[in-house]
Structure 1
Amino acid sequence: MLISGWQTPLELLREELIQLEQEGRVVPDSLRKEVETLVAEKEPWAARIEEVAAQLTGLPMRPEWPYEEPDELDEIRRLRPAGPRVLSLNLSDGEMLERFHGAWRGRCVGCALGRPVEGKTRDWIRTLLIARGEWELNDFFRGGDSKLWAPASQRENIRCMEPDDDIHYTLIGLRVMEKKGADFRWDDIANCWNSHLPYNAICTAETQAILNYNMLHPRCSGYAPSIATPEFTRRHNNPYREWIGAAIRADFWGYAAAGNPELAAEFAYRDGSWTHVKNGIYSEMFVAALISAAFVESDPVRLVEIGLSEIPANCRIAEAVRRALEWRKECADWESFMEKIDRHYGTLSWVHSINNLLIVLMALFYGDSTIDRNTALAVMGGADTDCNGATAGSITGILNPVSRLAERQNDTVEPQFIGEGTCRMRKLAERTLAVWKQIRNR
């Protein structure tokens, strides 16, 4: 039986072919031609799709494949480099509250700043802003162009943080930790999605994973244990398993385990390992560890090194991050750095985990440690602009909560989240502080 989810079965098959090759699998030319024929014939629900998909399972790895990329936490930890694991955090509750508030503010500013140009290229964004006399970006996008998205996040209309998955997932982290504490399981996340997120608010790998989960979790069973496993939910019919979706869910785990990057990475692993594999998981672990460390460290290079210490040393995303550290020494400005990203990773999907993480790092390397400038750089980099702006803003807001743009959102979030109505960012920060204190004292 053909089952789709985010895209049609044919589109899923085409994406699976790409994903397998990126994972290092040897794809026979005969299978590649079969997929090309189906694409050319434009038969999105053809019966042959299942036959071809079955032949894609169990393909051998390329013999020269140089990476070690496990999906299980014990193996990931075995392959990670040395790191601090726990940092000395000596801030008062009042200081922590301000940092949590800054993190929420920064995440919301960056998300809203990037929403109107989500999916646009760096060149498209530059061309638009130059034509308007507004290059480089230092304000929310002005409306008036039919190709811009999200009117409620445009300059003329903005008054709050409108519904967006980048904010919904941070709320999910808060809700799960409030209800389950530090011992939450991966299926607690899945059940929370079912209870609080409309299906249409979930995208790509998350769409496929929750569909997989629910196929093995009858609705009438309530919260009874499911027979679904992370191995099934993250892989079955899920060619988006190394895309950015896990990384955008990292932030709250870093908040909850502030000062404890190893624990933050473990929380992120539990969250990411049922929807993603390999570098999709590592991207979330990296970001969570980096955010956790930002409550103690402020130097971007040191933060990146701590993020690297929680993921396998010999994986593709670690290789990319190490390249980024070298590019930082070579590139005089952020656009030169972006040229390097385009040259090395320009063939990846605009929502892949690797290229988008490098855009976030670009913003941290070349920004001025303010929410407004760092998020603007992340957005001007193009690709998944709202996600990258949100992550850059979250990190920067911990270090420096001041933001002119944040004032325009009136400290208000209006999510599309069942059971969580309009809320103040300050209140979210207070709830985050309570969670962090619970984790710290356990």
Structure 2
Amino acid sequence: MTLSQDLYLQKIYGGLLGKVTGVILGAPLENTFWTYDQIKNAYGEITSYVRKYKQFAADDDINGSLFIIRVIDDIFRKNGTITSKDIGNIWLNYISSNRGMIWWGGYGKSTEQTAYENILSGIKPPVSGSIQKNGKPLAEQIGGQIFVDTWGLVFPNEPDKSSYFASLASSVSHDGEALEGAKFVAAAVSSAFSSDTIENVFIKALSYVSKDSEYFKILSDVYHFYKKNPTNWREAFEYLLKIKYNDDLKYPGPVHIIPNAGIVALSLLYGEGDFSKSICIATMCGMDTDCNAGNVGCILGVFKGPEGISETWKSQINDSIICSSSMGSLNIIDLPTISRYIGNLNRVLHGEENAKENEINLDFQFVGSTHGFKTNHSEKILMRNIEDPYDSKNRCLQLILNETKGYTIIDLYRSFFYIPSDLDDEKYGPMFSPTIYSGQEISCRILPNNIPNGTQLIASLYAKTANNKELISEMRVHLNSNEWQFLKFSIPDSEGEAIKEVGIRIYIQGKNNYYGPMFFDDFKISGKVDYYIDFSKQPEEFGSVRQFSFNKGAWRNINGVLDGTCSDFGSIYTGNFYWKNYDFSTTITPIFNNNFGIIFRCRGNLNYYLLKFAEDNVSLEKHTFEGKLYLTNKVMFKTLLNNNYNVRIIVKEERITVFLENQKIFDIFDENPVDSGCVGYMIFNGTRITINKFSLKEI
């Protein structure tokens, strides 16, 4: 079946929404603390979330699914192929050592950590995840199937390709039965795009599992039990998971894939195509609840589409997820935007276009989407996504108000940066860099209906920093009934602080209640960044210093400057992953040893330019997945401890120009450039540095 582009994207969105819903539902009830019987006795029949989160900090299920798939953009786009070694490089590129992304439970205990450290030490995939290297118990844990849903999303109605690449990706860290799980889950997601029943999805996906595997056996047993006893899922669980496949010696480890595979199968079949019923069964079964409900949720989300997921589940997510990669700007995600990115990856696979997500364009075109917007009066305002009443081909955000008599201020806003108080926990080590900056322009359009006589509505745009300083537009628009009106605002100097929030402020004044509705659409952020960082305003948080993500080293704010030290190596990053042309100035001071560098156009731990300082020279290097390349001869320059060094780097298209102490030291043309990326610093061999000046302007 051929999918229209719109339907394809809607179903990607449904799959991601379903994945996140299942993970959030299951996360509080994992088998670390809960069993099937305890869940049953405490909650009975689960029909909704068991915990409310301010903002859920993504765990390994979501992190892995969204970042491993970037191999298509980072490597396939250039080489036209994908190997397990390529996917291993993606691990090293986006995962910070001992922080974020995966479960750091210890080498030999956490399958993913074991594989990561194997790759880091030179043991390449697929040996890094093999039974031969790590042993059968470790290699056959559930991680083999929890990161692979997105392979089904990029290969709609192509279960043969999705299962192949899912197995390839899983082989980086897993082996044996775990690879069968990868094939099944990815094939199920792919098949769900056009199948007419969830039973057919199950049967199709099962056909990609090796018939002599234990994975095939348990799924077949679940299916046969279901066909004979199709009404009571608890009977199936009691027989299959508490009796027949309840063998810790045969299925060892904290989360072996086989019993959890049975739960996924049971939930799909007994859920009968109902999204809520399916993910709730997966959760009530216990074991690895977030993984199982997440996989089931993605399959059902694609099958049903976003319209098949009730507001009960959507409202807590509010389209907003955060991740834990080493690239801070990529960790702030809204589901519609990442859905479009995944849709573009499908086009990259077919040679049609590059996958880019550097523009912020929030247009509410996905059914039910909010792009993470909130209001300051949630108790008085109903916010929902609807079809544009003035254009049936468009969708927008609708606000219905209550109790707005007199003088009322309504803020409709979204977070583009996070601080610790925004989150419930930091279990998976999130880190953030801002995604909007001084110098950029905000724009949107708004339409109020039915403004009563004697009531006045005035709107303006605003931004707010992480320290709660408000930057309010001087452009205030008097709103007219039944008329779309445009607003725009150039973000002024934030005085070295991170921009955390932007939105539209509506002033309502009148003797009568105003109920609306109001319609909001086409929120865009464009223009060139022009900002600096005042380190005295950046507290230590998320294991580093505000606005920075990192990979190894100790990074602190000491006496109002950024201070970095390491035993062997460390790197720290800030800025936007998609910055291309810019003029970057900084002042760096070596305190102990003098092996350090400035990173620019950085696209991960392995992919960047490096201006590298040694004791008596400076060099310019390019690092890619293929290795290191010196771009020109070294320049002799002696660095002295406790001396300040002023550096200016200008990158424009293929040209790189570097000034040191106002003297041009490099001016080169790179025919095959790293085409965009953030900036940062790197330290080697126990070096300690401080940074007290930082400014950047896009050109």
Aligned counterpart for 2:146 among listed residues 248, 252, 258: 248
Divergent runs of 4+, >6 A = none
Query: In 2, Cα distance between the equivalents of 1:164 and 1:321?
Result: 26
- Partner of residue 48, structure 2: 139
1:92 paired with 2:1, answer: no
Q: Tell which deviates more after alignment, 200-209 or 267-276.
A: 200-209
> Is the 1:173–1:253 contact (alpha carbons within 8 Å) kept by the matching residues of 2?
no
**Cα gap change, 1:232 to 1:394, in 2 (>3 Å):** closer
Which whole-Å deviations, capped at 9, do the CAs of 1:292-341 have from their partners, x for residues lacking one?
Answer: 11112142332222222222111111111111110102233110111122
- Partner of residue 388, structure 1: 292
The AA in structure 2 aligned to 1:313 is: K
Alpha-carbon shift at residue 285 of structure 1 (Å):
0.9
> Is the 2:72–2:349 contact (alpha carbons within 8 Å) kept by the matching residues of 1?
no
Report the count of equivalent residues: 325
> Is the 2:20–2:62 contact (alpha carbons within 8 Å) kept by the matching residues of 1?
yes
Q: How do 1:173-212 residues align onto structure 2 when only pairs under 5 Å count?
A: 173-181=68-76, 183-198=81-96, 199-201=98-100, 202-203=102-103, 204-212=110-118
Query: In 1, Cα distance between the equivalents of 2:169 and 2:125?
Result: 13
Query: In 2, Cα distance between the equivalents of 1:356 and 1:261?
Result: 21
Query: In 1, Cα distance between the equivalents of 2:129 and 2:145?
Result: 17
More helix by share: 1
Query: In 1, Cα distance between the equivalents of 2:126 and 2:287?
Result: 28
Which whole-Å deviations, capped at 9, do the CAs of 1:82-129 have from their partners, x for residues lacking one?
Answer: xxxxxxx31211111110000010000000001101112111111111
> Is the 2:72–2:348 contact (alpha carbons within 8 Å) kept by the matching residues of 1?
no
1:379 paired with 2:283, answer: yes
1:403 paired with 2:310, answer: yes
- Partner of residue 353, structure 1: 257
Could you say what secondary structure the match of 1:271 adopts?
helix
Alpha-carbon shift at residue 208 of structure 1 (Å):
1.2
> Is the 2:157–2:193 contact (alpha carbons within 8 Å) kept by the matching residues of 1?
yes
Aligned counterpart for 2:234 among listed residues 318, 335, 338: 335
Any gaps of 5 or more consecutive residues in structure 2?
104-109, 353-699
> Is the 1:360–1:378 contact (alpha carbons within 8 Å) kept by the matching residues of 2?
yes
- Partner of residue 234, structure 1: 130
Which whole-Å deviations, capped at 9, do the CAs of 1:15-50 have from their partners, x for residues lacking one?
Answer: xxxxxxxxxxxxxxxxxxxxxxxxxxxxxxxxxxxx
> Is the 2:12–2:343 contact (alpha carbons within 8 Å) kept by the matching residues of 1?
yes
Could you say what secondary structure the match of 1:252 adopts?
helix
Could you say what secondary structure the match of 2:325 adopts?
coil
Query: In 2, Cα distance between the equivalents of 1:197 and 1:410?
Result: 26
**Cα gap change, 1:437 to 1:161, in 2 (>3 Å):** farther
- Partner of residue 121, structure 1: 35
Could you say what secondary structure the match of 2:138 adopts?
coil
The AA in structure 2 aligned to 1:408 is: Q
Query: In 2, Cα distance between the equivalents of 1:110 and 1:229?
Result: 30
Which fold has the larger relative contact order, with Cα–Cα distance below 8 Å and residues 6 or more apart in sequence? 1
- Partner of residue 320, structure 2: 412
Q: How do 1:28-67 residues align onto structure 2 when only pairs under 5 Å count?
A: none
Alpha-carbon shift at residue 195 of structure 1 (Å):
2.3
Aligned counterpart for 1:301 among listed residues 199, 207, 214: 199
> Is the 1:108–1:161 contact (alpha carbons within 8 Å) kept by the matching residues of 2?
no
The AA in structure 1 aligned to 2:30 is: E
- Partner of residue 490, structure 2: none
Could you say what secondary structure the match of 1:246 adopts?
helix
Which whole-Å deviations, capped at 9, do the CAs of 1:171-212 have from their partners, x for residues lacking one?
Answer: 123322222236222122222222222334423211111111
Name the % identity.
25
Query: In 1, Cα distance between the equivalents of 2:324 and 2:290?
Result: 17
Could you say what secondary structure the match of 1:274 adopts?
coil
Could you say what secondary structure the match of 1:413 adopts?
strand
Could you say what secondary structure the match of 1:423 adopts?
strand
Which whole-Å deviations, capped at 9, do the CAs of 1:145-180 have from their partners, x for residues lacking one?
Answer: xxxxxxxxx22xx24442200000111233222222
> Is the 2:36–2:285 contact (alpha carbons within 8 Å) kept by the matching residues of 1?
yes
Query: In 2, Cα distance between the equivalents of 1:98 and 1:232?
Result: 36
Query: In 1, Cα distance between the equivalents of 2:81 and 2:233?
Result: 41
More strand by share: 2
Query: In 2, Cα distance between the equivalents of 1:379 and 1:434?
Result: 32
Query: In 2, Cα distance between the equivalents of 1:409 and 1:100?
Result: 16
Query: In 2, Cα distance between the equivalents of 1:403 and 1:192?
Result: 35
- Partner of residue 333, structure 2: 423
- What is the aligned-residue RMSD (CA, Å)? 1.8
Q: TM-score, normalised by structure 2?
A: 0.45
- Partner of residue 606, structure 2: none
Query: In 2, Cα distance between the equivalents of 1:321 and 1:116?
Result: 26
**Cα gap change, 1:389 to 1:232, in 2 (>3 Å):** closer
> Is the 2:125–2:171 contact (alpha carbons within 8 Å) kept by the matching residues of 1?
no
Q: Which has the larger radius of gyration?
A: 2
Any gaps of 5 or more consecutive residues in structure 1?
1-88, 130-134, 142-153, 217-226
Alpha-carbon shift at residue 278 of structure 1 (Å):
1.4
Could you say what secondary structure the match of 1:277 adopts?
coil
Query: In 1, Cα distance between the equivalents of 2:88 and 2:298?
Result: 24
- Partner of residue 104, structure 1: 16
- Partner of residue 144, structure 1: none
Query: In 2, Cα distance between the equivalents of 1:410 and 1:308?
Result: 34
Query: In 2, Cα distance between the equivalents of 1:165 and 1:298?
Result: 31
> Is the 2:198–2:272 contact (alpha carbons within 8 Å) kept by the matching residues of 1?
no
The AA in structure 2 aligned to 1:212 is: N
**Cα gap change, 1:422 to 1:232, in 2 (>3 Å):** closer
> Is the 1:269–1:285 contact (alpha carbons within 8 Å) kept by the matching residues of 2?
yes
